[in-house]
Structure 1
Amino acid sequence: MGSHDIIAWLIIGAVAGWLAGKLVKGSGFGLLVDIIVGIVGAFIGGWLAGVLGISLGVGWIASIITATIGAIILIFIVRLFKRT
């Protein structure tokens, strides 16, 4: 994994986490948490897409969409456990 790959993960994670925060909460969570939520969301979204046999394509936009969907799911799961 090169430095470009890590930078791409951070950018995609930040954008996806920020978008998920906007869509679910109404605002972002802060840069660091947005990145973490986005990266974890990318794993969740990628896994879920594989299980369901869905492909959103390749490239930055598809990665951001997949990561955002996963991040939204992650936020909902965290909220389920946080409320109890």
Structure 2
Amino acid sequence: MSICSWLVLGGIAGWLASIIKGTNARMGMFANIFAGIVGSMLGGWVFSFFGGRGVTGFNLYSLLVATVGAVILLSILQAIRK
């Protein structure tokens, strides 16, 4: 995947995760992209741990993996803040 694909996929996944976690109002575009990209790495690790595959390209499965990872990341960050 190219850098542009990572940015777009990360932005969408981070935005979806911030809506799921209720942090959309205080997160900007760059925070969503960061959460999505780091979340895709974390989600890929978690999915591969359970026998699945990580991010495989620009498709719905990769968006699911990245969103799940971003939700996990935002949950960890919320727990640290409290």
- State the TM-score bracket (shorter-chain normalisation): 0.7 to 0.9
Q: Which residue of 1 aligns with 2:60?
A: 61
CA shift in 2, pair 1:34/1:72, >3 Å: same
In the TM superposition, what whole-angstrom CA distance separates every residue of 1:26-51 from its partner, at most 9, and x where no partner exists? 52611100000000000000000001
User: How many pairs align?
Assistant: 80
**1:80 counterpart letter in structure 2:** A
The residue correspondences of 1:22-37 to structure 2 (distance < 5 A) are: 22-25=19-22, 27=24, 29-37=27-35
Deviates more, 1:62-71 or 1:25-34: 25-34
If you compute each CA radius of gyration, which structure gives the higher value, 1 or 2?
1
Could you state the TM-score of these two structures normalised by the residue count of structure 2? 0.87
**Secondary structure of the corresponding residue to residue 53 of structure 1:** coil
- Root-mean-square deviation (CA, aligned residues, Å) is 2.0
Question: What are the residue-to-residue correspondences of 1:4-83 with 2, within 5 Å?
Answer: 5-25=2-22, 27=24, 29-55=27-53, 58-59=56-57, 60-83=59-82
The answer for unaligned runs of 5 or more in structure 1 is none
Q: Which runs of 5+ in 2 are unaligned?
A: none
The TM-score with structure 1 as length reference comes to 0.85
